[in-house]
Amino acid sequence: MTEAVFRADPPDARRCVVLADGVTVVYHRPSGLTHILAPPAPEVLAAMSEGDADTGTLIARLERDHDLSGTDDLRGTLTARLVELETAGLVWRP
């Protein structure tokens, strides 16, 4: 079975402010909605901005930029975050 491919807006489609407690407040320009994201959702969103990606491609991008050693069930975690971001309208399936 092929993995679902997701797409996100380019980085200039949103504004991000990281608050002191570690969550990121995202203003999504195309929709005018504000989202509050906990890690690793902001990192996933940033990695998705490079272009369409399935979970495998996303893992490769994240491993390039972040130290993910010791993360349990990375694939499952990222798939769950992608589904949440899809529900929020920040990523979608092209």
Partner 1 sequence: MKHEFRVTVGPVGFRIGSDWKQPLDRMRRLYQGYPVPDIPDFTVRLFAQRPWRKIIRPSVTIGGDYMLPDAQPMALAHGLLAAEMGMNLQMALGQRRYLVLHASAVERDGKALLMTGESGAGKSTLSALLGERGWRFMGDEFALVDLENGAIHAFPRMVSLKNEAVALFEAQPDRLGPIMHITPKGTIRHLRPPEDAIARMEESARPAMLLFPRFGFEPAVREMGEAEVFVRLTQASTNYVALGEAGYDALTTLVRSVPTRAIDYPDTERAVEAVERLWADLG
Which parts of this chain interact with partner 1 (CB under 8 A)? 15, 17, 19-21, 23, 25, 27, 29, 32, 34, 36
Helix (H, G, I), strand (E, B) or coil at 9: coil
Q: What end-to-end distance do the CA atoms of the chain give, in Å?
A: 18
Question: For residues 27 and 63, which CB has a smaller minimum distance to partner 1 in the complex?
Answer: 27
Q: How far is the CB of 66 from partner 1 (least distance, A)?
A: 22
Of 84, 80, 61, 64, residue with least CA distance to 72: 80
DSSP, res 81: H
Question: For residues 32 and 70, which CB has a smaller minimum distance to partner 1 in the complex?
Answer: 32
Q: How far is the CB of 40 from partner 1 (least distance, A)?
A: 16
